[in-house]
Every structure is written in C-alpha cells, then in structure tokens.
Amino acid sequence: MNFPNPLIPGFNPDPSIVKVGEDYYLATSTFEYLPGIPIYHSTDLVNWDRIGHVVDREGQLDSTDVPTLGGAWAPTIRFHDGLFYVAVTDAMARGTLVFTAENPSGPWSDGLVIEGAIGIDQDLAWDEDGTAYMTYSGLDTVTGNIGEHGGILQVRVDLEAGKAVEEPRSVWSGTGLMFPEAPHLYRHGDYWYLMIAEGGTERGHSVSIARGTSPAGPFEGNPANPILSARSTERPIQNTGHGDLVQTPDGGWAMVLLGMRPKGMTRAFSALGRETFITPVTWEDGWPVVEPVILNPRPGSGKFEDHFADSELDGGWIAVRRFPGTFASTEKNPGRLTLVSDGTGLDDPRPSFLGRRQRYQVETISALVDTGSSEELDPLAAEESAGKGNAGGLAVRYDEAHHYSIELNGTTLTARARISSIEQSWTRQVPAGPLELRIETRQPESGAGFGHLSSDTIALQAVVDGELLTLAELDGRYLSAETAASFTGRVSGVFASRGTVTFDWFRSEGREPH
C-alpha cells in the first residue's frame, strides 16, 4: 500500500491501533491537554477522521495541577469480547488507568485505577481462556521514584476489580539499549510476540521484538534487533519508535509509530514534535521485517476555517489542564467565539488558551479579534490604558515557558516572545476596533547562513488599515521539541489574558515545504 507519511500530522505521539472488522481505530497521547486521548477512525489506513476523545469530562484524568510533561501518556487501544479498552498512564497523577466503551466514539468510562501495576505505556492482551495480561514499562511517575527504571514488567490483572492478581515480574527488556518502553504483546501464528521501544525517545529511538510460546514468556530476542531505527541515517523522519502492529486491508501488515521531522542544516529542531507515521511490515522466518519510514506528505495544502456558528466547538480545539468549555463559548455571542480570562496569561499553567495542533511545517493562522475598544485614544491615553481592559489575541505555544504571541489591548498591539527565562516584546499603537491578527510560519532561509540552521521563522503580524504590519520575526527553533523539551508539539490558537475577548473567525492554512 502507498501510505501517506505523516499519517496523522502534528502533535500526535505514541500511536496505538486496533482493527475491528473492517474498521481501524487509533489513539494518541495528549499529556496536559484536554479533551484527552483522541480516537481516530479509518477504513483504509489512509484517510482518518477524529470521532471523539476518551477523556471528555472532569474526573477522568487528574489534570488540574498536573506538571508539564505529565497527564495522558501512551494509550493502548484494544477490543475484547465486544468492548473497547484504552489502557493509559495518567502520569504524575492517578497512575495506571483502564477506560472502556461500547462505541469508540464514546462515551468512555470514568477510568479504573489498576492497583499493583505502577508504570507507564501499559499494554493489554488476553490469552485463549480470557486471562488479561498487562505489560508495561517500569517507570514510576506516581510515588516519586521517577529516577529508577525497572525494565519491562508484566502482571495478570482483574479488569473488573481494578488490581493486579500477582506481583509484577520482569520480562524481556530488549537488547540493552536505554529506556525499554512501549511494550505490546501479540499472538501471531505459533508464538506470542513482545515488541518494545528502546534507545530513548530521542534520535536513538528504535523498535525491538522477542517471541515465546506463552504470553508470560520466556521470550527469545530477534537476532536482527532492532527491527526499526533511523539513528545515524539521512532519513528525513527521525526518532522512529513506539510502534504498534496491525493487519492491513489487503491482508498484509503495517506498523504505526511515532517519528519526528527535524529541520535546519543539522536537522536539529522538530517544530511539530512527535507525529504518527506508518510503514509496511512483512513476516520472514516467523519474524516481522519493517521497512524504513518514508516521507510521503499528502499533496496540496490544508485549510481550516471556523466562524463559530455551532453551539459546540469543533473537536479539534484543545486547552491546557482544563476543558475548553470552562472559559470558551460560542453561545454567549452567537456566531462569535467568546473567551473569558480569569487573570491567567500564557505564562501560567492554566491559560485561557484555545488551540489546534499545528499540522504543517509552513502554516499561517489568522483571526479577527475584538477587545471592545470603540473610541480613538491619543498616545498618552493609550499608554495609560495599557494593562487595563480586555486583552487577547493569537499565540503559538509549546508550554508555559515557550510561546510566541500577538495581543491586542484596546489600541495597543504587543508582540511577545517567551523563551524559558528570557522575554522580549514589541509594541505599536493601532486604530480602535476589531483587528485581524496573523502568525505566519515560514521555511528557514536557504544557503549557509545562520538562519539556515533553524527549523523555521515565525512572524507576528496584524492587518492595519489594509496593510500587513509585521511586529517581529522570530527564530522558530526555540519552539521545537529539542529546545522546549516538552513531549507535545506546537499548538496554535487564540487566547484571552484579561477580561472578555471575542473572535469573529479563525483560519489556518498550511502546506509542506518546497
């Protein structure tokens, strides 16, 4: 099959997939963003639609105060005896959870805590008599021992009582590379296969596999391990790992996995973070053989436009540590999006920020923002009004310490860059009234100059009296996975930092670099 790659672009890491009849369902990590754990559906492994989220209400995850990097880690989606299961880590919060649903579009259960199985990247598998096995990576994100790693562990679990029915046992943990994680257990032919990721989720990421005659092992490693890695290669897709196997519609096999597309002369900066990719798999001598992951972007450009005409927000909007409905509404002012700030800004853990995953490496977002200014102010009055009234605009965010924004406050327009402990801003006065704001992501400069080292350039702009005004052009490398060190990706959208701000429309348009 000619698979597109990335399969699901933008911040969609740690994919897991299940085939049920002619349908495919795929889940990815969301960390501190809500709603959490999107479920994507396909019938051909090529075209995908988001049909819902596992976490769509309060209480399913303990996300309110979860630290950055915490939250929903590495879901595994499976189907057994008429029920869908998602096993996941609520890292630095509730711990090991299992959600269930009769329909993968939801509603999903509240999430059952599994006692006695502390770790991450939980997998579920059932043997012939219905015994459930949970296999996971032995990293403790709950009790404070996060510096220790116990390798790949396994327990039999009671999924009704929510507990392990035995002490965790160590199973095959790879070839000796760092950080064995992302285990998945499969029955194929005469063997049970245990597939894991190892080498760390950075450039050394890889996939290895072992097999045995019992789901509990012992397991014998594949002599050809690792069966997938892009390390030390020129491939444009790096960090390939965390894979899950699935049968294709034509009877073959494929692996969905995470990968990154680093840019810059030294390919050092990945703006979009970890994305979902796919690659063909064949079986030889009882072992899976995985093809290198080939870059194959979907042709053309991608567009999204929201005029906020519906009473409910489009499901692609996400927020940080709280659900969008707690501060965003399309009903207060029908046909407009209204954001209400509780006094928090983009530097805070729970901003009034409503974003969408950046899906293309060249992308422009724009919105018409209204902060309620209806009269002209002279320069002195404008200066006095700064810090008062309503304020909001557009932002591109990695986390609370790494974001670029352009904000309207009355007649004061401010572009701002926050990079860890460093901050810079640029201010201009503009006419009163609604204003179109833009954030443009461009390809890096060509040639051998300093700019060629970066992933991209981000321009913070506004349309003033029909002319495009650029307040700042910023180096995009500082909003990348390698610099911010967050596990997510770029999320771009609208925010309110003070009072009530409305938006008539929001648009995004993107394409792949030439």
Where in the chain are the domains? Answer: 16-290, 302-511
**Beta-sheet strands, E only, within 43-105:** 49-55, 71-80, 83-91, 95-101
Distance set, CA 116 to CA 73, 154, 158 (Å): 18, 11, 11
With the C-alpha atoms ordered 256, 489, 262, 361, is the resulting torsion angle positive or negative? positive
C-alpha–C-alpha distance, residues 511 and 130, integer Å: 47
Cα separation of 412 and 435, whole Å?
11
> What is the pLDDT at residue 450?
65
The two three-digit tokens of residue 192, written as one number: 């049970």
C-alpha R_g of the chain = 23
Alpha-carbon 78 to chain mean position: 20
Alpha-carbon gap, residue 53 to 158, rounded angstroms = 25
Say what the pLDDT of residue 383 is: 43
Asked whether 474 and 394 are in contact (CB, 8 A), the reply is no
Indicate if 302-511 has the same CATH topology as 16-290. no
Those residues with Cβ within 8 angstroms of residue 378's Cβ, 6 or more apart along the chain or in another chain: none
331 flagged as catalytic: no
CB atoms within 10 A of CB 263: 25
pLDDT at 379: 45
Among the listed residues 90, 121, 123, 181, the single catalytic one is 181
Domain range 16-290, its CATH number among 3.40.50.1220, 1.10.300.10, 3.40.50.450, 2.115.10.20: 2.115.10.20
Tokens read off for 497: 């930092």
- The β-bridge partners of 188 are 191
pLDDT value at residue 63: 87
Tell me, which fold does domain 302-511 have in CATH?
Answer: Jelly Rolls (2.60.120)
**Listed residue (59, 58, 53, 57) closest to 103, CA to CA:** 53
For residue 484, give the 3-state DSSP assignment: helix
Q: What is the pLDDT along the chain (514 residues), one digit of tens a residue?
A: 789 999 999 999 999 999 999 999 999 999 999 999 999 999 999 999 999 999 999 999 998 999 998 999 999 999 999 999 999 999 999 999 999 999 999 999 999 999 999 999 999 999 999 999 999 999 988 877 767 788 999 999 999 999 999 999 999 999 999 999 999 999 999 999 999 999 999 999 999 999 999 999 999 999 999 999 999 999 999 999 999 999 999 999 999 999 999 998 888 999 999 999 999 999 999 999 999 999 999 998 999 999 999 999 999 999 999 999 999 999 999 999 999 999 999 999 999 999 999 999 999 999 999 998 544 334 444 444 445 789 999 999 999 999 999 999 999 999 999 999 999 999 999 999 999 999 999 987 666 566 678 999 999 999 999 999 999 999 999 999 999 998 999 999 999 999 999 999 999 999 998 7
Strands 206-212 and 181-188: unpaired
pLDDT in tens, 330-365: 999 999 999 999 999 999 999 999 999 999 999 999
**Nearest in space to 191 (alpha carbons), one of 221, 166, 169, 164:** 221
Burial (CB < 10 A; 0-12, 13-18, 19+), residue 463, is: middle
Q: What is the pLDDT of residue 447?
A: 62
Beta partners for 87?
76, 98
Catalytic residue at 198?
no
Could you tell me the pTM of the whole model? 0.95
- Given 14, 123, 306, 456, the catalytic residue: 14
